[in-house]
Structure 1
Amino acid sequence: MNHSLLAGRSPRGPVSLMKRVYKYILPEVRSELASWRKVAETIPDAELRKQALDSMNAKQFHCEGGGVYAAANLERRDILIPLIVALQTISDYLDNLCDRSTSLDPEDFRLLHRSMLDAVTPEAPLGDYYAFRDEKDDGGYLHALVRKCQTCVSALPSYSLVQRHVRVMVSLYGDLQVYKHIDRSKREDELLAWWDKHAGSYPELRWNEFAAATGSTLGMFMLFLAASDEKLDARQADLIRDAYFPSICGLHILLDYLIDQAEDESGGDLNFCSYYAGQDDLNERMDRMVKAARKSADELPFSSFHRMIVEGLIALYLSDPKVKGQRSVRETARVLMRGSPWTRLFFWLNSHWIRKAM
C-alpha cells in the first residue's frame, strides 16, 4: 500500500489505536448494531427472528473486532463501519441459520450465502435467498443488509481494484459454510475434495488450515480499508490479499477454534483443531501460524498497523474466559504467549477490560 492511505491517518501505536477504538469504533459499531437489532425485532417469522437476534447478541464482538479496521482511516469510517457491521451481521446470521438449522440441504446453504456475494457486488440484483427453506418471511431484513453493503462498497473510491479479491474470499467463505454444515457423515469427504482443488496453491498448509483461513472475514475488511484510498493501485491490492490470505486469516480462525474445542466436542460440531496428531503437533502448527502471520504483516507497508492486528487477535482469543477451563488450551496459550511483545500484553489487558465493560 502506498504512503497515501495510512500515512497521517493510521494510529501510530497500540495506545493511539485503543484510544480510537474506545472513542469512535466501539460506540459507532454498537450504534449500527442497535439499528439492525430494531429491524431484526420486526422479522415476522419467529425462527428467522430468533436466529437474527441471537447472532447479534452472541457475536457482537465480531463486529467490534472488524470495526478496528476503520480506526486506520477515521475520515472514511462513515462508510467503513456500516459496511463492516452489515457484512459481518450477514455472516453471523447465516452461520446461525446453518448451524442451528431446520435443514441440512447444501443447496439451501449455498443460496443463503449467495447474499454475501451479492452484498460485495454493487450491480448484483437481490435474490430469493430463502427459496430452499421453509422459513422465508424475514420482512426484508437480509435484503436490507445486502443493499447497505452494496451502497457502501459503491462509495469506496478504489473498490474496483479490490472487488475481484473480495469476491474470491467471499466465494471461499461460502464454500466452507456449505461443507461445514451439511450432514455429518459427508462433511470431511466434501472438505477434503474441496482441498484437493486448492492444495497446489498452498503447499505450506494442511487441509484444516486452509479451511480455517477461508472462514475469516478480516481479509475482506482490510481490502475495504484499502479501497477507501483513492490512490490505491492494483499491485498494492494484490499484496494485501496475499499477506492476509492464508496466514493472517488462518491464524484468526484457528484461534477461534482453539478456544471452542470443549464446546464443539460436547455439541458434536466440527472443529479444525481436532485434526492435529496431538497436543505437540497442535502447539507446533499454531506457533507456525503465528510466525507466518507476523511475517506477512511485516511485509506490508505500514506493517506496525498490521502487526497490531495480529498481536491483538492473539490477545483477544487467549484472554477469553473459555481458555481457563481447558487445560490443553492453557498449554497452547502458554506456548503462543511465550516471549510476548509488550503490544500483545497491552491488548491482552484491554481485551479483558472490554469484556468486563460489555
Structure 2
Amino acid sequence: MHTKSLLAGHSPRGPISLMKRVYKYILPEVRAELNRWRAIANAIPDPELRKQALDSMNAKQFHCEGGGVYAAANLEQRHILIPLIVALQTISDYLDNLCDRSTSLDPDDFRLLHQSMLDAVTPEAPTANYYSFRVEQDDGGYLLALVMKCRNSIAALPSYEYVQKHVRELVQLYADLQVYKHITHSKREQELLNWWGIHSARYPQLKWNEFAAATGSTLGMFMLFLAASDSSLDAHQAETIKESYFPSICGLHILLDYLIDQAEDEIGGDLNFCSYYENQQMLNERMGQMVLAARKSADELPFGHFHRMIVEGLVALYLSDPKVRDQREVRKTAKLLMKGSPWTRLFFWLNSYWIRKAM
C-alpha cells in the first residue's frame, strides 16, 4: 500500500523514543493547555456548569494526555494538534459529566449539547445555544470558546478536507451513543438495540455492545487529525485510517475502560458494556479477540509500528490501573490479556504505573 509514505520521518521509531517525546513535550504541553481551560472554567457564572467543567478536567486529565500521544507522531505540528485534541476531548468530557451527573434526562437536551462537538469539527456550520433545553444556561462562553479553538486549529491542518467526513461520522456516532446511554434507565437498552439494528449489517463481526463501545472512543478522530497534519494525505488513505481504527482499535479502547469500571458502574447503576456477555469466559474470549483485531488493524496502517505502540499502550494503561487489583474477575482477565505480552506492552505498563505515581 502506498500509504507507507504518510508522515514518513516524523513518527517515533520505538517505545523509548515515543516515551521520550511524551515526557519532554506532550505531557507538559497538554497540562499547560488544560490549565488554560481550567482558568476559563473557573470563571463560569453558573455554579452547576462551573462544577461539571472543573470536575471533568480534574477527573479525566488522562484522557487528554492519552489523546496527546498522537501529536508525538508529528512534533512539528504539535502546536496545532495538542490544542485541537485537548479542546475536543475537553468538550467530550464536559458533556459526559453534564449528561452523566445531569439535572436532566431529556434526549433533546443531550442531542443539542453534543451538537457542539459536531460543530467543533465542521468549521462551516452555524453555532447555537447548546444549553437551550436545560435550566443552566450561563457558561460565560466556555463551550463556544472550546468549539472555536477546535475550528481555528482545524483551519491550520493542510489536509482536513480528506478526513472531515470521517471525523464527522465518528463524532455523530459518539453523540448518538451519549444520547441513548444517558436517557431514562428503562429506555436506554432498547434504544441502543434499535440503533444497533441500523448499523449491524456493516459490522457483522461485532456484538451490539461492542459496536456501542467502539462509538465511545475519540481515538479515531485524533488519528484523523494527525493524518490531516500531513499535506501528502489523500482521500484513500483517510478512508483506510478510519476503517482501521473503527471499530477494532476504538472498540478495544472503550471495552478496556468498561472492563476496569465494572465494580463502580454496578454500584452507581451505570450502564457497562462488559456486563452483557453471557459469562466470564465469553468476556475473556471476546476481549482476547479484540486485542488481536486491534493489532491486525494497527499493523496494516501506514507507520504501523506507531499504531501498534498505541494498541499495546492501551492494554498496558488500563490493565495497570489500581482498579484492576480490587476486582477478582478483572484480575483474571488482565492476567490472560497480559500473558505472552510483547516487551513493548510491559514497557508501557511500567511507564503507565510511573506516570500515575508521579501525578
Q: Distance in 2 between matches of 1:323 and 1:184?
A: 27
Q: Distance in 2 between matches of 1:9 and 1:299?
A: 18
Aligned residue type for 1:256: D
Identity in percent: 79
Q: When the two structures are aligned, how many residues end up with a matched partner?
A: 358
- Structure 1 residue runs of 4 or more that deviate by more than 2 Å after TM superposition: 1-6
- 1:253 — aligned with what? 254
Instruction: Report how far residue 161 of structure 1 moved.
Output: 0.2
Q: Distance in 2 between matches of 1:253 and 1:98?
A: 18
Q: Distance in 2 between matches of 1:288 and 1:31?
A: 38
- 1:20 — aligned with what? 21
- 1:222 — aligned with what? 223
Q: Does the residue aligned with 1:123 lie in a helix, a strand or coil?
A: coil
1:212 aligns with 2:213: yes
Q: Does the residue aligned with 2:139 lie in a helix, a strand or coil?
A: coil
1:51-70, aligned counterparts within 5 Å? 51-70=52-71
Q: Contact 2:12 / 2:73 at 8 angstroms: preserved in 1?
A: yes
Deviations 1:189-223 (A, max 9, x none): 00000000000000000000000000000000000
Aligned residue type for 1:329: V
Q: Distance in 2 between matches of 1:224 and 1:90?
A: 16
Q: Does the residue aligned with 1:6 lie in a helix, a strand or coil?
A: coil
Q: Contact 1:4 / 1:229 at 8 angstroms: preserved in 2?
A: no
Instruction: Report how far residue 126 of structure 1 moved.
Output: 1.5
Instruction: Report how far residue 6 of structure 1 moved.
Output: 2.5
- 1:104 — aligned with what? 105
Q: Distance in 2 between matches of 1:107 and 1:7?
A: 44
Give RMSD over aligned pairs: 0.7
- 1:317 — aligned with what? 318
- 1:31 — aligned with what? 32
- 2:241 — aligned with what? 240
Deviations 1:78-121 (A, max 9, x none): 00000000000000000000000000000000000000000000
Q: Distance in 1 between matches of 2:169 and 2:4?
A: 26
Q: Contact 1:9 / 1:73 at 8 angstroms: preserved in 2?
A: yes
Q: Distance in 1 between matches of 2:97 and 2:26?
A: 25
- 1:128 — aligned with what? 129
Q: Distance in 1 between matches of 2:5 and 2:229?
A: 11
Deviations 1:288-346 (A, max 9, x none): 00000000001112110000000000000000000000000000001100100000000
Q: Distance in 2 between matches of 1:3 and 1:323?
A: 37
Deviations 1:17-74 (A, max 9, x none): 0000000000000000000000000000000000000000000000000000000000
Aligned residue type for 1:149: C
Q: Distance in 1 between matches of 2:215 and 2:95?
A: 15
Q: Contact 2:220 / 2:242 at 8 angstroms: preserved in 1?
A: yes
Of 6-15 and 135-144, more deviation after overlay is shown by 6-15
Aligned residue type for 1:45: D
1:49-88, aligned counterparts within 5 Å? 49-88=50-89
Q: Does the residue aligned with 2:326 lie in a helix, a strand or coil?
A: coil
Q: Contact 2:71 / 2:78 at 8 angstroms: preserved in 1?
A: yes
Q: Distance in 1 between matches of 2:147 and 2:252?
A: 28
Q: Contact 2:6 / 2:302 at 8 angstroms: preserved in 1?
A: no
Instruction: Report how far residue 4 of structure 1 moved.
Output: 4.1
1:126-205, aligned counterparts within 5 Å? 126-205=127-206
Q: Contact 1:11 / 1:72 at 8 angstroms: preserved in 2?
A: yes
Output the TM-score relative to the length of structure 1: 0.99
Q: Distance in 2 between matches of 1:66 and 1:121?
A: 20
- 1:47 — aligned with what? 48
Q: Contact 1:298 / 1:304 at 8 angstroms: preserved in 2?
A: yes
Aligned residue type for 2:27: L
Q: Distance in 1 between matches of 2:298 and 2:151?
A: 29
1:110-121, aligned counterparts within 5 Å? 110-121=111-122
- 2:94 — aligned with what? 93
Q: Distance in 2 between matches of 1:173 and 1:185?
A: 21
Aligned residue type for 1:316: L
1:270 aligns with 2:265: no
Q: Contact 1:156 / 1:227 at 8 angstroms: preserved in 2?
A: yes
Instruction: Report how far residue 5 of structure 1 moved.
Output: 3.2
Instruction: Report how far residue 3 of structure 1 moved.
Output: 4.2
Instruction: Report how far residue 123 of structure 1 moved.
Output: 1.2
Aligned residue type for 1:248: I
Aligned residue type for 1:179: Y
- 2:341 — aligned with what? 340
- 2:232 — aligned with what? 231
Structure 1 unaligned blocks of 5 or more: none
